[in-house]
Amino acid sequence: MKRPLLSIVCLFSILGITNHHANGQTVVVKKRNVETGEVYGVSGSKSSTTSNYNQAIKYNFLPFFIGEMPLGYELKLNEYLTAEAGLGITTNNALDELLYVYDDFYALADRNLANLSHYASFKVFPEGNAFNDGYYLGFNYNYRPYSKGFNVNQSTVRATKRFTDIGLVFGFEGRPSDQIMLDVYAGVSQRHINWDVPSISQIIDPLTGDVVTQVQINNTRYPTLGGLLGFKLSYLFGNDSGANADPKSSTTTKKRKTRRRRSRRRRR
């Protein structure tokens, strides 16, 4: 009876020390052999959702449907704040073309001209979990120009429709793996449109009898409401020195320095 009872309780373990690091948790388990009284320890590690990284390269997939391909960079300022900025290439806004399909800007254009877009955002994480599966409130600025080319008398006339958005978004950043992060958000904006509206006319030259095409650009500006949607895939990199700092180690170092000072004073 004695041996079965001893074999049952011989693996009784006590959780000893748990160190919280930015990249996970280190666990030390102390075990005691009841028969011999010997104490030994086994250490292991646990993964957590805490991120060590403070930088990210991001690509937004949703603007592809409005003719934009943006690539961005996000920097983690601290656990509550991040800043992001990026550049993109614009071609043709297919969604806007559906709304203005009969306008000369889309109907009479000979080709799409590439243009550059840019954006910036500032994110606030109320729970202090930036880059760590957290919700955020974002302040966004987006500038997207779309240009068309009109062939007139062996030259190209350029007309551009510019979208400028300033708004608020509510989003979520989650990490399915250590260095991969997904960013999903939605919001509203105050949109300002600056549009070069082309007016094309044809006349007959009385001297030659040839048909001459003329393009007149009339600029118009107006405000409206806009929507902001995004689905970003991010790659994390860079070490967060603040996250990697171990408060326990710094406390231990301070204690050692204090002891050394006391011992020096005693010797004197």
User: Domain map of the chain by residue range?
Assistant: 1-48, 53-243
Of residues 86 and 241, more confidence is placed in 86
17: its two tokens: 């020390």
Mean pLDDT of 52-66: 95
According to the model, what pLDDT value does residue 200 have? 75
Mean pLDDT of 199-212: 74
**Calpha distance 108→46 (Å, rounded):** 63
Contact yes or no for 73/84 (Cβ under 8 A): yes
- The set of residues, in sequence order, having a beta carbon less than 8 Å from that of 143 and lying 6+ positions away, is 117, 118, 119, 162, 163, 164, 165
Strands of the sheet containing 39-46, edge to edge, are 13-21, 24-32, 39-46
Sign of the Cα pseudo-torsion (35, 41, 45, 48, in order) = positive
Residue matched to tokens 């001459």:
212
Of residues 248 and 236, more confidence is placed in 236
According to the model, what pLDDT value does residue 257 have? 56
According to the model, what pLDDT value does residue 214 have? 77
216 has pLDDT over 90: no
Lowest mean pLDDT among 163-172, 194-203, 208-217: 208-217
Confidence of residue 155 (pLDDT cuts 50, 70, 90): confident
Confidence of residue 266 (pLDDT cuts 50, 70, 90): low
147 has pLDDT over 60: yes
pLDDT digits (tens, 9 = 90+) for 1-49: 444 444 444 434 333 333 344 444 444 555 555 555 555 554 444 444 5
Contact yes or no for 69/43 (Cβ under 8 A): no
According to the model, what pLDDT value does residue 38 have? 58
According to the model, what pLDDT value does residue 108 have? 86
How far, in Å, are 46, 188, 195, 201, 202 from residue 154 at the CA level? 69, 43, 24, 16, 15
How far, in Å, are 5, 98, 135, 143, 175 from residue 107 at the CA level? 89, 11, 43, 24, 44
Q: Which fold has domain 53-243?
A: Porin (2.40.160)
H helical segments located in the chain: 2-9, 94-99, 104-107, 241-244, 247-267
**Calpha distance 86→117 (Å, rounded):** 8
